A and B are shown apart, each in its own frame.
Chain A
């Protein structure tokens, strides 16, 4: 009788781990998916990746009567499945989310139901394996998936913003699980976002935009830069997203579109200016959606309406009776448009990130501070 002489594998006792995962569920610590149990030893491995004091307060939010420390964010990162060396990026991401200004204004509790879109720039993208190319909004990449998820776990557990309680989201959004991309700086014809924001190319930066939804713009139908931007502008000005007189917007341009725009002489600033001028709805479209009153559609020749001045194009109709063909522009300034290049250079696809209203700081941003 033949004898199998290969060494017998020692069975691994996974029961304690499974019990710990179930314990985290029982405590209400998860986003619905299993978390990595944040044992003290694991959290210490994270804290060893930063020079920052574990008790340093990153933000204190009065409405919750709670503050977030470096240690608590490290716990969230461990639970999310991050590797310890991701911690400086997670801390920068958290600071960028706070920097945007929405958390203190109650955005995490809002019925509008968005979550932070994180954008990673600089060398840390390749050092830690952030995806900036194909499936950039989709699954498959640990750094993107877990850094984004760490934000949600911090919001849930550090501040207690849970659905059906403090989180009043009417429908929420899939991005609330995790929404983290890296800019495809290599395939972009323009300067990367963090350089535009005043940092050095050798810096690594996380930017944040509290986002309600990502709308795709599929245009493989024309090589005309203006028509592509008109298509993007149509999504920017979708009536369902028009709530106030002012809005800001993120545009994640696919490399194919970006290279096509640049080849026709458009700088990033040109793209922003074109989108401001061409992201509009006609007054009749707003009327059909019942939003003409809410928008206080200005009188055609009335310059006394302050911030509304110039948003509608006069058509010669009587004052006080704006015509249905007049344009209601949803953007006021190129500075209200964020342009990032991400995705694979394999199709004419871009996306519009619709943020919550008019973010106080646009975008929120923070430098990644690696351990010295």
Chain B
């Protein structure tokens, strides 16, 4: 989470993907980095034990969220948006 926020601060469009089980720490890290409410894509937990079909399914869930974050409400997203 810190990485994508820091990348965006350097002008690199970025989107983080997080599983729902790790949202609390993702939100805490975003707040520490000065970006409370920072948006990220969320997929169901777990990921590491998925087979190829399961990963494709997760990717299909994540992709539209990632595109929406990258485009942003006005065509660009930034920390705190």
Q: A interface vs B, CB < 8 Å? A: 62-65, 109, 160, 164-168
Contact = CB atoms under 8 A, between A and B. Distances in A.
A109 B2 CA distance: 12
B24 A63 contact: no
A155 to B, nearest CB: 14
Interface majority SS on A: helix, strand, loop or mixed?
loop
Contacts of B22: 168
A166 B2 contact: no
A62 B32 CA distance: 10
B33 A166 contact: no
Nearest to A162: B28
Interface string B20-63: 00101100110011100000000000000000000000000000
Q: Is chain B's binding surface mostly helix, strand, loop or mixed?
A: helix
Contacts of B29: 63, 166
Contacts, number: 21
Given A160-B32, A165-B24, A167-B25, 4 more contacts: A64-B32, A65-B33, A166-B25, A166-B28
A327 B22 CA distance: 36
A321 B74 CA distance: 55
B24 A164 contact: yes
A165 B33 contact: no
Contacts of A167: 25
B18 to A, nearest CB: 11
B2 A63 contact: yes
Contact of B32 (A65, A164, A168): A65
A65 B30 CA distance: 11
Interface in B1-33: 2, 22, 24-25, 28-29, 32-33
A54 to B, nearest CB: 25
Contacts of A168: 22, 25
Indicate the size class of the contact surface on chain B.
Answer: under 10
Contacts of B25: 109, 165-168
A214 to B, nearest CB: 25
B64 to A, nearest CB: 26
A165 B30 CA distance: 11
Contacts of B2: 62-63
21 contacts: A62-B2, A63-B2, A63-B29, A63-B32, A64-B32, A65-B32, A65-B33, A65-B34, A109-B25, A160-B32, A164-B24, A165-B24, A165-B25, A165-B28, A166-B25, A166-B28, A166-B29, A166-B32, A167-B25, A168-B22, A168-B25
A318 B22 CA distance: 44
Q: Which 7 A-B pairs have the closest CB atoms?
A: A165-B28, A168-B25, A63-B2, A166-B28, A166-B25, A65-B32, A164-B24
A165 B25 CA distance: 5
B61 to A, nearest CB: 21
A118 to B, nearest CB: 26
A165 B34 CA distance: 16
Nearest to A160: B32
Contacts of B28: 165-166
Contacts of A63: 2, 29, 32
User: Which of B24, B28, B29 lies at the interface centre, i.e. has the most chain A CB atoms within 10 A of its CB?
Assistant: B28
Contacts of A109: 25
B32 to A, nearest CB: 6
